[in-house]
Amino acid sequence: MTQTTSTGAGHRLRRDVGLVGLTFISLGSIIGSGWLLGALTAAKTAGPAAILSWVLAAAIIAVLALIHAELGAAYPVTGGSARFSHFAFGPLGGFTAGWMAWLGTMSAAPIEVMASLQYLSNKLPGLTKVSDGTPVLTSSGLAVAVVLMLAFTVVNLLGVRWLARVNTAVVWVKIAVPVLTLVVLVMVSFHPSNFHAGGGFAPFGATGVLKALPAGVVYALLGFEYATQIGGEARNPSRNLPRAIVGAMLIGTALYLLLQVVFIGALDPSALLDGWSHPIEKGALGPYAGLATSLGLGWLAFVLYVDAFISPSGSALINVAASSRLGFGLSRNGYFGPTFQRLNGRGVPAVAICFSFVVGLILFLPFPSWQQLVGFITSAFVLMYAFAPVTLAALRRSDPTRPRPYRLKGAEVLAPVGFIGANLIVYWSGWHTNSRLLLAVAAGFVILGIFRATRTGVRPGLDLRAASWIAPWLIGVAAISYLGQFDGQAVIPFGWDIVVVAAFSLAIFYTARSVGLSSAQVATYVDADARESAHDDEVPLIG
């Protein structure tokens, strides 16, 4: 029998998604354009040492995933990334985290569509053109992109059960094709000498290893938390959410690491004699398909081109779902208008889904290529992830009696380590990316101010004391990025910049934990959310 958030309501958020569906929702986001394009980008940035980039990224993201697992199990709400911080730091803290999560997910669907069309342009050249050395969508490509976004929107409007079923079928394909590629390339072409060719194992040194993280490595691993975004639509969320998050992260990490190793080993050694700037002749638009073609594996190239449509499209489908749930969560917490909470007859936030479609179309215009969006989205997501460790620490202090079906062992150490790791990834993204990201954060505060100024009735407080650590944190991250080694002024020496980020992060972490909401305030917000969920049947229907 289908469960709902409360009895007797046929149009509430429906708890239709089980463990497999939740796992595949997170995994479906992780396995997207990253597997098609990430290995080449990482190899060009770090050489064979790109393997270390994946290991380092996986270690940092794994800690953040485990933290999300505890939060998702303890607070199984829809739009979790927009609401965990609301419970811990009040409206201003919750809005900042939710705004960053919303920016990232809203941008992720169009970037997956762009990746799909960019890869397919090898066979359908009319979809893209090269502008200033970067592949961008043509007018025909934009038209196809609009049609794809519309299709993803329709599937989402059909309900979460349809979403889970379609996504599960797609993810099986998304797993099978990379595994097939791994097996075939290892059997046909694998050169151990490639791992010390073109200048040695680490031709670009430690800097190259670190630069590869925001250049596509971290982006490939993003999305593990997507199961928490539909926590209010999950069956037995306390048990299934942590299992889904951890399981998806483990599978995705293992797959990406193997793909990087096999990609490096499969390259033609003669292509590496002059370094790693052009490791494959036609790899910019399709590295694995280019490898398959050069090895005479035309059938594999065909399979890869088909998957180049399926994998990113499947991720875009999930990103539409996640962004709409974040819009729902931001509305539930009072940051957006109540329209975003309106459900259709199938129990999904229809207005939020349609809004995600419109914003996705707009993003095609200023960011017409995959490369132009990756760094921005990575920083936006990771900045949002950075809220999770401080949120966990604050809620453990102020809400200690809450049942925690999954309790992270060693959280006293792992939470601050996770916060440091997230801030380092943002720093490694470089000042050019971070300056734009901070402008987007500022724009969010302006929007919040306009909404509160124009809102009628009682306006709840912002709990400024609980959120007082956020401004110093963002300003500090900006200052270190500007003075640092990655697109900055290089005032802080390499090596010491990591020490500075770590020390600054620890100071912010313990400050945030100490100023978080009191136990009574947390209980007030959590209880209010529970009451809202119990009355979801009063949310107006669409259609």
Q: Is residue 476 part of a domain?
A: no
Domain with residue 296: its CATH number is: 1.20.1740.10
SS3 78: strand
| Residue 172 domain flag | yes
pTM above 0.95, yes or no: no
Pairing of strands 343-344, 134-137: unpaired
- Burial status of residue 497 (CB atoms within 10 A of its CB: 0-12, 13-18, 19 or more): buried
5 domain-assigned: no
| Structure-derived torsion over alpha carbons of residues 137, 358, 231, 83, reported in degrees to the nearest 10 | 110
- Tokens 């697109």 map to which residue? 487
The pLDDT, as a whole number, for residue 311 is 80
Domain-located, residue 533: no
Closest CA to 363 of 41, 100, 128, 104: 104
Give the per-residue pLDDT at 6.
39
Question: Which DSSP letter does residue 17 get?
Answer: B
| DSSP H helices in 31-123 | 33-46, 50-74, 84-120
Angle at 435 between CA 434 and CA 441, to 5 degrees: 85
- Residue 479 included in any domain: no
Please report, to the nearest 10 degrees, the dihedral formed by the alpha carbons of residues 135, 136, 141, 146 taken in order: 130
Structural domain including 20 reads 14-381
Tell me the residue type at 37: L
**pLDDT on residue 180:** 95
- Reduced to 3 states (helix: H, G, I; strand: E, B; else coil), residue 211 is helix
Give residue 537's pLDDT.
Answer: 40
Q: What is the largest CA-CA distance in the chain?
A: 71
Does residue 236 lie in a domain region?
Answer: yes
> Which residue matches tokens 């270690």?
59
8: left (phi over 0), alpha (psi -120 to 50) or beta: left
What's the rounded Cα separation, in Å, for the pair 383 and 101? 8
Q: Could you tell me if residue 342 is left (phi over 0), alpha (psi between -120 and 50 degrees) or otherwise beta?
A: beta
In total, how many domains does the chain have? 1
Q: How far is CA 235 from CA 66, 77, 232, 529, in A?
A: 20, 12, 9, 19
pLDDT tens across the length of the chain (543 residues): 344 443 333 445 555 567 877 888 888 778 877 777 788 889 999 999 999 999 999 999 889 988 988 898 888 876 677 688 989 999 888 889 888 888 777 777 887 788 778 777 777 778 877 776 666 778 888 888 889 888 888 877 887 677 777 777 888 888 899 999 999 999 999 999 999 998 899 999 999 999 888 877 887 888 787 777 666 666 777 778 788 888 888 898 899 999 999 999 999 998 888 889 888 865 445 678 888 888 889 899 889 888 878 887 777 877 787 787 778 877 777 777 778 888 877 777 888 888 888 887 877 776 555 555 666 777 787 888 899 999 999 999 999 999 888 888 999 999 999 999 999 988 988 898 888 888 888 888 888 888 777 776 656 677 899 999 999 999 999 999 999 998 899 999 999 999 999 999 999 999 999 999 999 999 888 887 766 655 544 433 333
Kindly state whether residue 485 falls inside one of the protein's structural domains: no
Nearest 5°: CA angle at 216, between 191 and 481?
Answer: 125
Q: Which two tokens stand for residue 508?
A: 């912010």
Residue whose tokens read 């998050």? 245
Tell me the two tokens of residue 410: 């060693």
Residue 29 lies in a domain: yes
* Amino acid at site 490: A
- Per-residue 3-state assignment (H helix, E strand, C coil) for 248-278: HHHHHHHHHHHHHHHHHHHCCHHHHCCCCCC
